[in-house]
Amino acid sequence: MTALRVPHRHASPAASAGEPADSGPSGTVGPPPAAGRPGPAPAVPSIEFETVSFAYPDGTRALAEVALRIEPGESVAIVGQNGSGKSTLVRHLNGLLRPSSGRVLLDGWDIRPIHVARLAGLVGLAFQNPDRQLFAGRVSVEVAFGPRNLGVCGAVLEERVGAAMEEVGLAAEAGTNPYDLGYSRRKLLALASVLAMRTPILVLDEPTTGQDARGVARVRAVVAAAAAEGRTVIAITHAMEFAAESFERVVVMRDGRVVLDGAPDVVFAEAAWLELRASFLEPPAAAVAGARLGLGSTPTAAAVVAALGRSRG
Amino acid sequence: MAIELASARYRYAGSASAALGPIDLRVEEGRVVGVAGANESGKSTLCLVAAGLAPGVIGGKRDGSVRIDGADAAALKPHELAQRCGILFQHAATQLSHSTATVFEEVAFGPCNLGLRIPEVVERVWAALRAAGVEALAARDPGRLSGGQAQLVALASVLAMRPKYLILDEPTSELDPAGTTLVADALTRVAAETGAGILLIEHKTDVLARIADEVIVLERGAVALSGPAAAVLADPRLSDLGVEPPAAVRLERAVRAAAIEWSAALAEAVR
């Protein structure tokens, strides 16, 4: 079971009442809706990492003064070598980890005093390894667990569960035991169980790992749909093509720091390759081809085609 | 000498239908044969069958023949199989022994069980750790590694056995681009220098484009496409089979789809 889908009974509105973070300026970080009613979808808060550092108990320093602001509705890919701090960073968003120093703010409010059960309604995090997340005996029960703990029930719950299973292509597997699914479909199930929570912020840790072309297409569609709804989508990925094609912003991490941050055509432009390679990353093939042909920065195949069209037309 | 599958078919114990086959496949010494296919198309089952573990160790029923250097895989004893075929499972957790205190001991576990003399074990372990780029992890606790590190240590533990054939089930799935390049280079070197034959399951077709001599694509347990790597990876049916073509192929398609000529300069730029 994951801490991000903590049962609602652990949330204690009384305990947090009166704390400054209890309700944000727009009510985004405000109290949860009464049980049984999902209430209106909460507004999408901005995210700010304010010089956040983090060291694990064994002394490993995973984040070093990260300063990063993500506006509501942005879609952001976080890339970097294994061990560069990507997963550590996103685990600060839902309170699984708390900064050793610095602050994480949602809509300007420090999340430190906010219970993880409350954060769970705002930030949905799909783990890299689905087996750390799945526990139910049936696919539909697994998907229903998160939203149920956010107080969703009845027909609304059913609709959400159905829609989430449909979105990842598991509608026909509602009664299947999650562990009878192959790894790639367990991973899609973990994604569905987070989608069903309809959190304003969606965080995906290496969602395309182990997926075949159809699975990758489903993940791309999930990202596009969430972005189109105005939700914030953050994905950690090693797939540079996916980062360049599906996200409007790419953040490159190295040794716990943000070393590049910008639109794909900035981060994958030839001028940034030295920094990319110092981070043990390679620009997408389309970017390399575009640079060789003198087409400027072309991070995607579509950008290459557009630049070729311009240069010929 | 080779691993040879002829009309091989396999069904798991308790299952009514075959998960694999009929399949014909030849992995010769010094060659890299890539395997691609949609999820649940039979790739991991192929690994178990080619390595002689199915049905030899896990049961089930096999038809047709699976021969390793001419010997029926089903007739080989586990220690004989282990010295011929090294298999890297899809998940490193399945591979690691969970009985050692350091990465060095973990990688030494296999060679020690072969009864080799200590100096040779030590030499093999360092060579394997170096090939997988994880020398720096030698003193670490294998139970406290990241997913990518564990995958590289598991690969090192297979390389240390110096098998004639390597059967690798998505060895780069958890790795970053640098780790993926490192493994691809290491496998090319192993095939060239030791003459090992390699059966490589891989979703990343860019890796197959770089190091595979031949590629087969599975669909529902059977071979849907096979041939030289470049030809198979450029086959228009690849996407329909659930396999994402290499980046260069996708770029060529996007350019052609826009009715722009695919010139020699373009082809050169994506090489």
**Each residue of B216-238: pLDDT tens digit?**
999 999 999 999 999 999 999 99
User: Inter-chain contact A305–B258, Cβ cutoff 8 Å?
Assistant: yes
Of B149, B257, B270, the CB nearest to A289: B270
User: Inter-chain contact B251–A289, Cβ cutoff 8 Å?
Assistant: yes
Q: Which superfamily does CATH assign the domain made up of B2-269 to?
A: P-loop containing nucleotide triphosphate hydrolases (3.40.50.300)
CA distance B74 to B52: 6
- pLDDT digits 0-9 by tens, A275-303: 999 999 999 999 999 999 999 999 999 99
User: Inter-chain contact A82–B149, Cβ cutoff 8 Å?
Assistant: yes
Considering only alpha carbons, which residue of chain B is nearest residue A237? Answer: B176
CA distance A296 to B248: 18
pLDDT at res. A32: 45
Terminal Cα distance for chain A, rounded: 56
User: Inter-chain contact B39–A213, Cβ cutoff 8 Å?
Assistant: no
- Residue A206: Cβ within 10 Å count: 23
Of B176, B129, B194, which Cα lies nearest the Cα of B155? B129
Q: Which two tokens stand for residue A12?
A: 């204690």
* 3-state DSSP percent of chain B in helix, strand and coil, to 5: 45, 25, 35
Global confidence as pTM: 0.86
User: Inter-chain contact B91–A183, Cβ cutoff 8 Å?
Assistant: yes
Would you say B221 and B54 are in contact if contact means Cβ atoms under 8 Å apart?
no
Would you say B242 and B202 are in contact if contact means Cβ atoms under 8 Å apart?
no
pLDDT at res. A131: 82
The answer to whether residue A73 scores a pLDDT higher than 90 is yes
The answer to whether residue B179 scores a pLDDT higher than 60 is yes
Amino acid at A242: F
CA distance B246 to A289: 14
Query: Which positions in chain A have a beta carbon within 8 angstroms of at least one beta carbon in chain B?
Result: 80-83, 128-129, 182-185, 209-216, 238, 240-241, 280-282, 284-286, 288-289, 292-293, 301-302, 304-305, 308-309, 312
Considering only alpha carbons, which residue of chain A is nearest residue B144? Answer: A58
Please compute Rg for chain A using Cα positions.
20
CA distance A245 to A263: 11
Residue partners of A155: CB distance under 8 A and separation at least 6: none
Of B91, B176, B250, the CB nearest to A81: B176
CA distance B227 to A65: 51
The answer to whether residue A2 scores a pLDDT higher than 50 is no
High-pLDDT (> 70) share of chain B, %: 100
Q: Does B247 touch chain A (CB under 8 A)?
A: yes
Would you say B222 and B17 are in contact if contact means Cβ atoms under 8 Å apart?
no
- pLDDT digits 0-9 by tens, A79-134: 998 889 999 999 999 889 999 999 999 999 999 999 888 899 999 999 888 888 78
Beta bridge partners of A194: none
User: Inter-chain contact B270–A212, Cβ cutoff 8 Å?
Assistant: no
- pLDDT digits 0-9 by tens, B2-41: 999 999 999 999 888 999 989 999 999 999 999 999 988 9
User: How does the average pLDDT of chain A come out, rounded?
Assistant: 86
Q: Between A and B, how many residue pairs show a Cβ–Cβ distance under 8 A?
A: 104
User: Inter-chain contact B177–A281, Cβ cutoff 8 Å?
Assistant: yes
- pLDDT digits 0-9 by tens, A49-69: 999 999 998 888 999 999 999
CA distance B74 to B58: 12
Q: What is the ipTM of this complex?
A: 0.83
The Cα of A118 is separated from the nearest Cα of chain B by a number of Å equal to: 29
Q: Which chain B residues contact residue A238 at CB under 8 A?
A: 175-177, 180
Q: Does B147 touch chain A (CB under 8 A)?
A: yes
pLDDT at res. B47: 95
A26 pLDDT tier (thresholds 50, 70, 90):
very low
Question: What is the edge-to-edge ordering of all strands in the sheet holding B2-11?
Answer: B20-28, B2-11, B61-68, B71-72
In B51-99, beta strands by DSSP E: 61-68, 71-72, 85-88
CA distance B50 to B24: 11
Please compute Rg for chain B using Cα positions.
19
A16 pLDDT tier (thresholds 50, 70, 90):
very low
